[in-house]
Amino acid sequence: MRAATVCAKLPGTVAEPILYADARQCLEDLALAPTDVLVLDMETIGGDDALSRFAVRCPSAVIIAVSAEGSMTRALNAMRAGAHDFLAKPYSLETLTHKVRTQLDMQRGRFQPTGQRRPSETGATIALETAQPVGRFSSQSQTMRQLYATIRRLAPSDAPVFITGEAGTGKTLCAEAIHGLSSRSDARLVSINCASLSADELEAELFGGLTGSRSGRSDLLSLCDGGTLHLDEICDMDPALQSRLLRVLQTGMVPSRTTGTDLEIDVRVICATSRDPLAEIAAGRLREDLYYRLHVLPVVVPPLRDRRDDILPLAQGFLTRFAAEESRSFRGFDADAEARLLSYGWPGNVRQLENTIRQIVIMNDAAAVAYDMLPLMIRDTFSRGRSPAEDPRDKRRPVRAGRPHSSIEPLWAQERRIIEDALDAFDGNIALAAAALEISPSTIYRKKQSWSERLQ
């Protein structure tokens, strides 16, 4: 298949496949009419960067990447860029259909592993209705109610939990909720971010006995004896330290700092990562034996784009809180602002939404949040690929008078402001900011370098 992409729904549903030979034309059309399924030929569209642009344009679509290069590296790179699955050419239509159906079923919550019996629709509905929010979660969408039901089922166990989900989805809240509903809730929950410390610092925090511990306290494994240890971003732990942690999990013993003998500890481990653990194993950054020791009870926290029913309630909750904190008059959102919040892809998930609302409240004051108050990077992605005349919202908006010439910024200054706004929205994460702006991360690095040279 040499098409740039196939925008499709499966035969027998609403639409027949549409074949494109021009990737740019397909991207432009998707700005006006997104699709459910994208099949992307990697050689035709131009590689991983181009795939990322399709993923940003259609955040809720199932994306299948196909390539004449069938290596594991090619497949992993495509999936890091946004693909849900990968096919090496040549392939059969039956294989493609199976992969698409599987991904659609997983996206809609209908997928059941082989050998498992699906509960009756009535039973599933009752379970979802009784799955109320847990911990500091507040969302009420069906997707999140499924997550709450999962947390309640696994919380009483002492088995390790492995939480996966994109950055900003609420993995830490999930770990807190599991601990809070467990029999260990009266004991300590100790959390540590493996990405925030060097290998020596992390070893000192976990096992003690080394200089450089931040607080001079005993090792964290001993502190949470009888409780829960939450290891965030486990894939960032040094492989040598992973080996030492694996021995502790296998034996239930930790070296004593004072006697030099091993002491028995009782710790439940909840780990989390925003990366693909299987890809990290393939890259040699995560030990496979540690993964299978920890991956006993898996939990997947869904991205915000897959639970759009939560966007407006979450935004309203953030608006009410920040308006009170900043003494602002905001009570809600106008129709245009709500429409944009719902249609935006939110690659930074709930954290990005929270930061966006905080920025709006600090920089403005009114009874309602208007479309013009949204950050430029969020507003621009809506109109990209269409002219103002084609945007029905602009027909309702009064024409503004021209600004004084003195207020016009140089192009480089506008670029800098837009990129810095994006970096602020994603807490400095260049990869996420680049994805939201539909540019390469290397472009941001080059721009930052050029600004430094210009301002010297």
Q: Which residues pair with 332 in a beta bridge?
A: 368
CA distance 208 to 255: 9
What does the CA dihedral 284, 290, 293, 298 come to, rounded to 10 degrees? -50
What pLDDT score does 124 carry?
36
d(CA 273, CA 164): 5
Residue 257: the pLDDT is 63
Q: How far apart are CA 23 and CA 410, in angstroms?
A: 32
> How confident is the model over 399-424, as a mean pLDDT?
71
Tell me what pLDDT residue 392 has. Answer: 44
Contacts of 445 (CB under 8 A, 6+ apart): 430
Amino acid letter, residue 413:
A
**pLDDT attached to residue 133:** 67
Termini Cα distance of the chain: 51
Q: What is the mean pLDDT of residues 9-24?
A: 66
Query: Which conformational region is residue 252 in: left (phi greater than 0), alpha (psi within -120 to 50 degrees), or beta?
Result: left
**The predicted structure's pLDDT at residue 454:** 66
| Interhelix angle 430-437/48-57, nearest 10 degrees | 70
What's the sign of the alpha-carbon dihedral 447, 450, 452, 454? Answer: negative
Which residue in 165, 88, 166, 119 sits closest to 347, CA to CA? 166
Per-residue confidence (pLDDT) for residue 120, from 0 to 100? 34
pLDDT of residue 175: 94
The overall average pLDDT reported for the chain is 78
Confidence of residue 160 (pLDDT cuts 50, 70, 90): very high
Percent of the chain scoring above 70 in pLDDT: 77
Task: Give the whole-angstrom CA distance, residue 92 versus residue 437.
Answer: 36
E strand or H helix at 228: strand 228-232
224 burial (CB, 10 Å; 0-12 / 13-18 / 19+) is: buried
- Quick check: 356 pLDDT over 80? yes
pLDDT attached to residue 264: 85
Predicted pLDDT at 448: 78
| Segment 77-105, tens digit of pLDDT | 787 777 888 888 888 888 888 888 877 76
Three-point CA angle 92, 94, 96, nearest 5°: 75
Residues 333-345 as b/e (b if ≥16 CB within 10 A, e otherwise) read beebbbebbeebb
What share of the chain in percent tops pLDDT 90? Answer: 29
254-288: pLDDT as tens digits = 876 666 677 888 999 999 999 999 999 999 999 99
Count Cβ atoms within 10 A of the Cβ of residue 215 and give its class: 0-12 exposed, 13-18 middle, 19 or more buried.
exposed
Report the pLDDT value the prediction gives residue 135, as an integer from 0 to 100: 64
**8 A C-beta contact, residue 417 and residue 424:** no
Q: What is the CA radius of gyration of the chain?
A: 24
Tally Cβ neighbours within 10 Å of residue 218: 13
Residues 148/134, Cβ–Cβ less than 8 Å: yes
> DSSP alpha helices (H): ranges in 81-230?
93-107, 121-130, 142-154, 171-180, 199-207, 220-223
Reduce the DSSP state of residue 441 to 3 states and report it: helix
Antiparallel, parallel or unpaired: β 368-369 and 332-333: parallel
Which tokens sit at 40? Answer: 């992307």
Looking at residue 455, its pLDDT comes to 64
- Does residue 181 register a pLDDT over 60? yes
Residue-wise pLDDT tens digits, 332-344: 999 888 988 988 9
Q: Which of 111-120, 219-228, 396-405 has the lowest mean pLDDT?
A: 111-120
Domains and CATH numbers, the chain: 5-107 (3.40.50.2300), 127-302 (3.40.50.300), 305-394+408-455 (1.10.8.60)
Contact 2, 44 (CB under 8 A): yes
- Asked if residue 388 has pLDDT above 80, the reply is no
pLDDT of residue 299: 92
Residue 305 has pLDDT above 70, yes or no: yes
Using alpha carbons, list the distances in angstroms from residue 352 to 54, 67, 94, 137, 433. Answer: 20, 33, 39, 16, 11
Predicted local distance difference test score (pLDDT) of residue 381:
53
Q: Name the residue among 378, 373, 371 with its Cα closest to residue 425.
A: 378
| Span 224-261, pLDDT tens digits | 889 999 999 999 999 999 999 999 888 888 876 666 67
The answer to whether residue 403 scores a pLDDT higher than 80 is no
pLDDT tens digits, 61-79: 888 889 888 776 677 678 7
Q: Is 41 a residue whose pLDDT tops 60?
A: yes
User: Angle formed by the axes of helices 411-425 and 430-437, to 10°?
Assistant: 120
